[in-house]
Amino acid sequence: GAVVSQHPSWVICKSGTSVKIECRSLDFQATTMFWYRQFPKQSLMLMATSNEGSKATYEQGVEKDKFLINHASLTLSTLTVTSAHPEDSSFYICSARARDRGPADTQYFGPGTRLTVL
């Protein structure tokens, strides 16, 4: 149980285009979803925290107009990278905290989305 999926698993796009990544909790309702970015051989860096029906909270240094987060339901959050550039190429991972399942502080991670911007 507590499965999180991401779509797509990988994407290649041209510089200047926008890319949308979906994060879904498949068998539970997520009170909060988190978006991380991981560059090669580096750690996971939290980008933003989103709660269903409210605006996302972005970490310092993360441009909210460039990384649009929508959390429309208790099972779906989306991250849109707008006007992508090569430096946005990275591994994007989401996680979710479950409502009524296990400890409230446990996060369940998605499989990640590898974005390559040409």
Partner 1 sequence: GENVEQHPSTLSVQEGDSAVIKCTYSDSASNYFPWYKQELGKRPQLIIDIRSNVGEKKDQRIAVTLNKTAKHFSLHITETQPEDSAVYFCAASSLGGYNKLIFGAGTRLAVHP
Round to whole Å and give the CA distance between 111 and 4: 8
Considering the complex, state which of residue 24 and residue 97 has its C-beta at the smaller distance from partner 1: 97
Considering the complex, state which of residue 42 and residue 116 has its C-beta at the smaller distance from partner 1: 42
Is the Cβ–Cβ distance between 47 and 33 less than 8 Å? no
Round to whole Å and give the CA distance between 90 and 104: 29
In DSSP terms, 93 is beta-bridged to: 36
Q: Which of 91, 100, 115, 102 is nearest to 36 (CA)?
A: 91
Where along the sequence are the contacts to partner 1 (CB under 8 A)? 32, 34, 42-46, 49, 51, 57, 91, 93, 95, 97, 104-107, 109-112, 114
How near is the Cβ of 109 to partner 1 at its closest, in Å? 4
Considering the complex, state which of residue 16 and residue 111 has its C-beta at the smaller distance from partner 1: 111
How near is the Cβ of 87 to partner 1 at its closest, in Å? 20
